[in-house]
Structure 1
Amino acid sequence: MTRPRLRHLAFVVQDAKRMADFYRDRLGMEVFHQDPDGSHFLTDGYVNLALIQQRLDGDVATGFNHFGFEVEDVDVTADRIAEAGVPRAVARATDRPFAEYRAIDPEGNWFDLSAHGFLPPGIAD
């Protein structure tokens, strides 16, 4: 890999199971992970789709949430991002094993950076 690859999209949804069933049954995606909160994670074999279950006690509205890039070296990429005048990427505060770092673009859109990809450890891309 010589440049970052877009590999992951995430949406906050009201009914993650229903949405996952739709993408699985109608578009042939494969569910590869489900969180205890009901969030579902699917893949088409190249791009992963995170359907994050909206929580009533949460502060995130439904809709687009973030996207993610697979990169060769997170530190090098984080330095390049910071050179553009945005905050340096930081370690994600989550127990999900899909992405190591969170960053923002100049307009405040979230994106993840991962050197190992966006599938759980042990599942090959």
Structure 2
Amino acid sequence: MSRPMIRHLAVFVRDVEKVAAFYESVFEMDVLHRTVATETEGAAVFLSDGHLTLAVLPQRLKGEVAHGINHFGFSVDNMEAISGRIKAAGVEEPQKRPSTRAFAELRGCDPEGILFDLSENGYTRSKASAEPAKEKAPV
């Protein structure tokens, strides 16, 4: 099995479009996916530098994190093996993420309760996405 890699970082921000535009223009990140706002959640933007996926999520006054980092994600080759290691470390076994949440199959936490996602499918190949990522044509 190859070494697990951090491939996904999520941040809560007040102005999703402004922050997404910043990363897109300053760091030349590509927009992979945009969600549609609902009655309970604002729209989010997912960007990538070709390796790391950055989820820019809307800050909510009612929520587990008011502003800043929410969670990060690992790309893994063998979900069962990683889940076993997590459980063996005395931490709760990772749980399935809701089908409405794109880009990861499981959510776990470290001994301090810091959340992370786990994905065998990769963060740019989500099967749960309601709107497929738009691939950019090679230049």
Q: 2:44 aligns with which of 36, 39, 44?
A: 39
- 1:91-122 superposed Cα distances (whole Å, 9 cap, x missing partner): 01251220000000011110000001111347
**Alignment pair present for 1:50 and 2:55:** yes
Q: Which position in structure 1 is the counterpart of 2:96?
A: 91
- Structure 1 CA distance for aligned equivalents of residues 20 and 119 of structure 2: 23
Alpha-carbon separation, structure 1, partners of 2:78 and 2:64: 32
Q: 1:95 to 1:7 in 2, by over 3 A?
A: same
Selected match of 2:82 from 37, 54, 77: 77
Distance 1:64 1:92 in 2: 18
In the alignment, structure 1 segments of 5+ residues that lack a partner are: none
Aligned to 1:10: 10
How high is the TM-score relative to the length of structure 1?
0.91
Which one-letter code corresponds to 1:7 in the other structure?
Answer: R
CA distance in 1, matches of 2:72, 2:28: 21
Percent same amino acid at aligned positions?
A: 44
2:77 is paired with a residue of what secondary structure? coil
TM-score of the aligned structures, taking structure 2 as reference length: 0.82
Q: Is this contact kept in 1: 2:60–2:66, CA < 8 A?
A: no
Report the Cα offset of residue 73 of structure 1. 1.4
Matched length: 124
* Structure 1 residue identity aligned to 2:60: R
